[in-house]
Amino acid sequence: MALALDAGGARSAYQVGALQVLLPELAAADQRPTLLVGTSAGALLTGALTATAHLDAEEQAARLLDVLGQATKDAVMQPLWRQVPVVALRYASETLGVSRFRLRGLFGTGPLGRTLGEAIDWDQLHRNVAEARVDVSAVVSTSVRSGRVTVFAERSPDAAPLPRPAAGHHRRYVDTRLDVEHLMASAAIPALFPSVRVSEPPEAAGWYVDGATRRRVPLAPAVELGGARLVAIGTGSLHPPLDDPERDRVEVDLADGAATLLGAVMDDPLRHDLRRLGEVNQWAGDSVLARHLDQHRSGSGREPLRVIPYVAVSPSRSEVLADIAMEVFRSNHRSLRRTLGDPDLHLVHRLLGSDSPLQGELLSYLLFDPDFFEAAAAVGRQDAEAWVASHPDLWRTEPLANDDEAEGD
């Protein structure tokens, strides 16, 4: 059974909340995930889940909360003021015609690397894979230069060989002994966080950024790696926002553009891929149609269609995490004392347009605040409980119903 954890930055707290509900439910049904695939913030959780796979489900969920609690802002990003000399040096070097010095991201993420090194038991992670408690642990990154989606995968000795997608899919799988650099590369949101140089394995060495940057089908790795059942947890809603002509006429600024871009990259692909999965399940269940489609697929070297039952948990409303982020920001970060103590979020808030309707959307990716974590995790638990209540045996095969998605998407 496969677990796919999608991108989300600080919004990964939502995924932790959902896992608090789903991990025990899956264990009770003897369906603990053994194929783990994570992208961006989901890759960090994949590392933590792999390292705790030897624990029972309740303890594993508790350990995820412990890891989340360590991911405060100081443990993830350098203060912006420490980046000022780097930015100044970069532009000075360009002015003088010296191009060797490069600025790779607005926020330094050295603290995140140290946190991952300490919060994840890497020796136990490798033991859990070697002893087949986890068959495959994989994280998705994007090559900066070629734009190729690269899946770094650590496999148990008895796991099937890695898939080799057709060249047109622009996706590759690489046998890897996972380490901090692979998780950092998967979570390096372009422009915000610096790109990461991966050194191992040598055949895949190079510079990488967030795995969500170029991937179009976020569920494909979990399916291609052999997942017979699939649990997908995202941080963007399965319900696109309703049309709002009046809101569309409101003046926009930099924050609106950035939030729209992040939503298109981080949220939309999972929603569309889940819809596609339900449709493919219907085709695979139609013996006549499946036979004709499989003949076509075999001609291009693709596997036959198969029905894949799935669980899909994401926020019930597209604005829910953004609203929480704005509420926590106003409560915790707008006073003079808090601003002077940690001016970074306030500065970003002002630079990107503090009155923007989508400001909360952008802040929700960067708000590494315990209060935001707690509230987002509570929403994740609520949505996972709602799925369990409406799917007593957990699984679904048919497409999301019309009333599961907003009109016009």
Residue type, 351: L
Note the pLDDT tens digit of each residue in 342-382: 666 655 555 555 556 567 787 888 888 899 999 999 999 99
The pLDDT, as a whole number, for residue 306 is: 84
Q: Which residues in 156-187 are b (16+ Cβ under 10 Å) and which e?
A: beebeebbebeeebebbbbebebbbbbbbbbb
The pLDDT, as a whole number, for residue 191 is: 72
Q: Which residues in 6-21 are b (16+ Cβ under 10 Å) and which e?
A: bbbbbbbbbbbbbbbb
Q: What stretches in the chain show pLDDT beneath 50? A: 403-409
Strands 196-198 and 149-155: unpaired
Give the three-class secondary structure for 153. strand
Q: What is the CA radius of gyration of the chain?
A: 21
How far apart, in whole angstroms, are the C-alpha atoms of residue 257 and residue 277? 30
How far apart, in whole angstroms, are the C-alpha atoms of residue 60 and residue 380? 16
Instruction: State the chain's mean pLDDT as an integer.
Output: 83
The pLDDT, as a whole number, for residue 143 is: 94
Residue 67 CA: distances (Å) to CA of 22, 105, 306, 370: 18, 24, 36, 12
Strands 2-5 and 35-39: parallel
Strands 2-5 and 230-233: parallel
Could you tell me if 387 and 92 are in contact, meaning their C-beta atoms sit under 8 angstroms apart?
A: no
Q: What is the DSSP string of 74-95?
A: GGT---HHHHHHHHHHHHHHHH
Please name the residue that has the structure tokens 């993420």: 109
The pLDDT, as a whole number, for residue 160 is: 93
Could you tell me if 342 and 73 are in contact, meaning their C-beta atoms sit under 8 angstroms apart?
A: yes
Q: Which residues contact 130 (CB under 8 A, 6 or more apart)?
A: 156, 157
Backbone angles phi, psi at 232, to 5 degrees: -120, 130
Q: Which residues contact 214 (CB under 8 A, 6 or more apart)?
A: 142, 147, 148, 149, 170
Note the pLDDT tens digit of each residue in 97-110: 555 555 565 677 88
Residue 97 falls in which region: left (phi positive, over 0), alpha (psi -120 to 50) or beta:
left
Residue 206 CB: number of other CB atoms within 10 A?
18
The pLDDT, as a whole number, for residue 46 is: 97
Model confidence, pTM: 0.87
Could you tell me if 315 and 236 are in contact, meaning their C-beta atoms sit under 8 angstroms apart?
A: yes
